[in-house]
């Protein structure tokens, strides 16, 4: 488990290596690493060279930290995130959020690939996350378990306002202006640990408890980011339909997940690129 001092060291090391003082952090979901291409004057670091950083092991997650400027906003972008099923300690999964905070990041945009549970959703839809269900949390898996370091945040942080409502509205408006009305959604994301995809009975249960999409990430990062006071915006790309029915041969595959990411890359990039300059930061740069 990384200590506060180790987090400080990593943040200082990163600031030392390159000229950007990022105000915005981006996390790329499976197959969505192309978002990093939005950044100009890139400075790219491999996770393996960054002190205390875990390594990416999943296809579609390059394992690179990219610094750069997006229409004038200094950004840091994780091309590759960490998942519980890779065997990382939960506090390693959220370690980059602490590093973001200590580098001065104010707003985090998280993206993921997810299975659509809501029957009205189609593959390729973009779902603005309005809330989450931390199902592993019900079984005692929460990134804030253990001693609380007040330098990051409160022992008992609220999560009822985890997903910034102003940013949700902004994203919806930008999406409509870009002509995405037909495939922009707003819904609830539920995380599971994976790596096995869900059974039919599990998908039915998740839908009944109020989830619109299911994945294996994001929620832990969101909890950590909110704990240390960053604003959070997140969206899911619906890369596949969750299987809800015994009369079908349909099944989830990571290949389909990556393929949908490729197909929608252009629209996701346009959404983020249009949104970012409209996000007000408290600091000037």
Ligand X SMILES: O=P(O)(O)O[C@H]1O[C@H](CO)[C@@H](O)[C@H]1O
Residue 254 tokens, joined: 């990571």
Under the rule (CB under 6 A), what is the footprint of ligand HPA?
113-115, 197-198, 214-216, 239-240, 242, 252, 257
Q: Residue 242: name its binding partner from ligand X, ligand HPA, none (Cβ under 5 to 8 Å by kind).
A: ligand HPA
Measure CA 254 to chain center.
17
Instruction: Give the C-alpha separation, 100 to 147, whole Å.
Output: 21
Question: In 10 A of CB 204, how many CB atoms?
Answer: 15
54 binds ligand X per the rule CB under 6 A: no
Neighbours of 194 (CB within 10 A): 15
Indicate which of ligand X, ligand HPA, none lies near residue 29 (CB less than 5 to 8 Å, by partner kind): ligand X
84 is an interface residue for ligand X by CB under 6 A: no
Tell me which residues in 108-147 interact with ligand X (CB under 6 A).
Answer: 112-113
Continuous H helices in 110-253: 135-138, 165-177, 200-208, 219-227
Binding-site entries for a purine D-ribonucleoside: 198, 240
Number of residues lying near ligand X (CB under 6 A): 13
Among residue numbers 159 through 218, which ones bind ligand X (CB under 6 A)?
194, 215-217
Based on the shown chain and the rule CB under 6 A, indicate whether residue 79 belongs to the binding site for ligand X.
Answer: no
Task: Please identify every residue annotated as catalytic.
Answer: 30, 61, 83, 85-86, 113, 216-217, 240, 254
Structure tokens at 223: 């909890």
From 108, 105, 107, 98, select the one nearest 8 (Cα to Cα). Answer: 98
Tokens of 48: 């393996």
Tell me whether residue 28 or residue 214 sits nearer to ligand HPA (CB atom): 214
Residues forming contacts to ligand X in the complex (CB under 6 A) are 29-30, 58, 81, 83, 112-113, 194, 215-217, 254, 257
């Amino acid at each position: 488990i990384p200590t506060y001092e180790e987090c400080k060291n990593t943040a200082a090391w990163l600031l030392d290596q390159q000229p950007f003082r990022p105000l915005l952090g981006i996390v790329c979901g499976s197959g969505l690493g192309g978002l990093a291409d939005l950044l100009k004057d890139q400075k790219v670091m491999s996770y393996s060279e960054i002190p205390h950083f875990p390594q990416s092991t999943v296809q579609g997650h390059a394992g690179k930290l990219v610094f750069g400027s997006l229409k004038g906003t200094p950004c840091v972008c994780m091309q590759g995130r960490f998942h519980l099923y890779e065997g990382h300690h939960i506090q390693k999964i959220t370690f980059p959020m602490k590093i973001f905070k200590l580098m001065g990041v104010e707003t985090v945009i998280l993206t993921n690939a997810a299975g659509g549970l809501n029957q009205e959703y189609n593959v390729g839809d973009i779902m603005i996350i309005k809330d989450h269900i931390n199902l592993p949390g019900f079984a005692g898996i929460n990134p804030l378990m253990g001693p609380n370091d007040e330098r990051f945040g409160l022992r008992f942080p609220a999560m009822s306002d985890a997903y910034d409502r102003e940013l949700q509205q902004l994203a919806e408006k930008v999406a409509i202006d870009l002509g995405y009305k037909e495939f922009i959604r707003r819904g609830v994301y539920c995380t599971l640990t994976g790596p096995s995809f869900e059974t039919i009975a599990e998908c039915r249960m998740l839908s009944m408890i109020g989830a619109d999409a299911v994945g294996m990430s994001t929620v832990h990062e969101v909890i950590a980011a909110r704990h240390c006071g960053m604003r959070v915006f997140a969206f899911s790309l619906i890369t596949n339909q969750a299987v809800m029915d015994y009369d079908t041969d349909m099944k989830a595959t990571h290949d389909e997940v990556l393929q949908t990411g490729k197909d929608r890359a252009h629209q996701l990039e346009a959404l983020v690129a249009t949104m970012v300059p409209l996000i007000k930061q408290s600091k000037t740069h």
